[in-house]
Amino acid sequence: MALTLNGEQQLLRDSARNFVSTHAPVSHLRSLRDRNDDRGYSPVLWEQMVELGWAGIAIPESYGGAGLGLLELGLVMEECGRTLAPTPLLSTVLLAGNAVLEAGSEAQKSALLPAVCEGNKVMALAFEERSRFAPYQVACKAEARGTGFRLSGRKTFVLDGHIADTLVVTARTQGEVGDRDGISLFLVDPKQAGVKIERTTTLDSRNAAQCSFEAVDVPGDALLGELHQGADVLDRVLDRATVCLSAEMLGLVSQTYDVTLDYLKTRVQFDARIGSFQALQHRAVDMFCELELCKSLVLEALTAADEGRDDATMLASAVKARLTDASRWITRQAVQLHGGIGMTDEHDIGLYLKRGAATEQTLGDSAYHLDRFASLRGF
């Protein structure tokens, strides 16, 4: 395929870049962090993004969205990554919202997706239970009770879980912990009796939550998709979210490189710009080559997901593994090339390193996705 964007996609990317650079610069994240903002993002800014149609980019028109593809949403995520703009796009649209789109009944979709597109509802997917990414390690149970279910268990690292209006919760309805089969998805009201949510703050000043469910009764129509078949839905949702998160990471490393290159061109040491030193030029070239490879891989993975290609799942793991390694290497190179100022909170480069470190672990690190990639390739 031609790894290029058409005119409309370029226009979307350019408008997104202009918007976040103007309304959500890195100083915006600093302000939220310094005042320990309860939400972790600005509702006013999110409302503006909703008005631009970002929340509904990949949601069908029949539910109030734009009916575009993952590629278009990925372009917006990439630009958000450039300025570290905090938004609920990942939690609400790509994780929980996509789960509803993939598995929800017509009534569930009609009740939830238009509200997501309008920015009236924040959702979160509660599926992780361990310190490392392991989507099938589900111990949280859902036992049949009359016409409904009773949920009991705990979830960790629930992105935006502390402000969610609706939770999508994975629970085991059959089998043993670690089994792929026997997982089901449920819609849960976080204000319901027995649900306890504790806000936590991550390394990059974003918010997640610890959620516990103590004998939480939900009706039968809270089941999302088929009973015991939630892993199939979870796989598709996580793959799509992983590719878009990789696009955000691409924006992060792209901006990191641009800032570092500008520093090399302007910083004077020993009566010369440090960018004139050959050893530093070599490091900058290595960063550039890695970045160009990442750009091609992200675009290919987004396109494969939109086209429903057979290799889309494999590419989802390939792109996350590559972007994780690239993010780790480029952000650390950038801090080193900035010298002492790079180690201070005064300079923005440290915020990019922290965000990179957090996204490395989100939705699976390099080791997880390399192992998954090898398995999908038959090794």
The yes-or-no verdict on residue 2 having pLDDT over 90 is: no
Give the amino acid at 252.
L
Cβ neighbors of 252 (< 8 A, separation 6 or more) are 81, 82, 84, 327, 331, 352, 355, 356, 359
What does residue 122 show for φ and ψ, rounded to 5 degrees?
A: -105, 130
Cβ neighbors of 367 (< 8 A, separation 6 or more) are none
Q: What is the pLDDT of residues 308-359, one digit of tens each?
A: 999 999 999 999 999 999 999 999 999 999 999 999 999 999 999 999 999 9
The yes-or-no verdict on residue 247 having pLDDT over 60 is: yes
Q: Write out the residue limits of the CATH 1.20.140.10 domain(s) in the chain.
A: 232-376
223 forms beta bridges with: 186
* pLDDT above 70 as % of the chain: 99
- Say how far residue 86 (Cα) sits from the centre of its chain: 11
The yes-or-no verdict on residue 1 having pLDDT over 70 is: no
As a whole number, mean pLDDT of residues 254-274 equals 95
As a whole number, mean pLDDT of residues 233-261 equals 98
Q: Write out the residue limits of the CATH 1.10.540.10 domain(s) in the chain.
A: 7-120
Whether 249 contacts 110, CB under 8 Å: no
Q: What is the pLDDT of residues 205-216, one digit of tens each?
A: 999 999 999 999
Q: Write out the residue limits of the CATH 2.40.110.10 domain(s) in the chain.
A: 124-228
Report DSSP state, residue 133. -
Residue 34 confidence (pLDDT): 95
Residue 4 confidence (pLDDT): 82
Can you give the pTM of this predicted structure?
0.96
- CA–CA separation, 18 and 107 (whole Å): 37
CATH architecture for residues 232-376: Up-down Bundle (1.20)
The yes-or-no verdict on residue 285 having pLDDT over 60 is: yes
Cβ neighbors of 282 (< 8 A, separation 6 or more) are none
The verdict on domain 124-228 having CATH code 2.40.10.10 is no
The yes-or-no verdict on residue 150 having pLDDT over 90 is: yes
The listed CATH number (3.40.50.450, 3.40.50.300, 1.10.540.10, 2.120.10.90) that belongs to domain 7-120: 1.10.540.10
Q: What is the pLDDT of residues 78-111, one digit of tens each?
A: 999 999 999 999 999 999 999 999 999 999 999 9
